[in-house]
Amino acid sequence: MKSVVSFLALIMLLFLSSCVKNRPEGEDVKVFSYTDPIVNPPDEFMVVFNTSWVGDRVATVKFDSNAVWMIEKLGDGRINLFMSNDSLNLPVTYADTLGLRSGKVYRIIVNNVYTSEFNNFFVGFEKLDIAYEGFEPKF
């Protein structure tokens, strides 16, 4: 009986993970590949990473103005996401809100250490209507 319950739990986890492999349907948001530098992106965008092998994937993004951004993982929860500036790697567990500076190159690091399944992993960015000057944390 215990093995049947374990098997059913495994099937349920596989089903749930298959629901988050691809870009959400019906979204009209600009999508960038992690392989090309992103410069002056729109106020809402996504970066897609191919995580079909173990290791790091790195995208770079540079903004044209100081702003507060919400950064969100949109994919397999087993994948690690970090925002990096010149001196700090900041883990993003699910979503985070950060003040990002114009002209600075940020690295978006996606780390896969758990699976070799073919997956597309998305990181969502949305510019928020919050004043950058008074917002903390700035990154």
Output b/e per residue, 64-91; b: 16+ Cβ within 10 A.
eebbbbebbbbbbeebbbbbbeeeeebe
The three-state secondary structure class of 12 is helix
Q: In the prediction, which pLDDT does 13 show?
A: 41
Q: Does residue 39 lie in a domain region?
A: yes
Average pLDDT over residues 87-104: 95
Confidence of residue 44 (pLDDT cuts 50, 70, 90): very high
* Predicted TM-score (pTM) above 0.75: yes
Mean pLDDT score of the chain, rounded to an integer?
A: 84
Residue 83 has pLDDT above 60, yes or no: yes
Q: Does residue 70 lie in a domain region?
A: yes
Q: Does residue 134 lie in a domain region?
A: no
**Lowest mean pLDDT, pick from 39-48, 60-69, 97-106, 114-123:** 114-123
Q: Does residue 135 lie in a domain region?
A: no
- Residue 45: which domain range? 2-128
Q: Does residue 115 lie in a domain region?
A: yes
Structural domain count, the chain: 1
Strand order from edge to edge, sheet including 120-128: 30-33, 44-50, 120-128, 67-74, 95-100
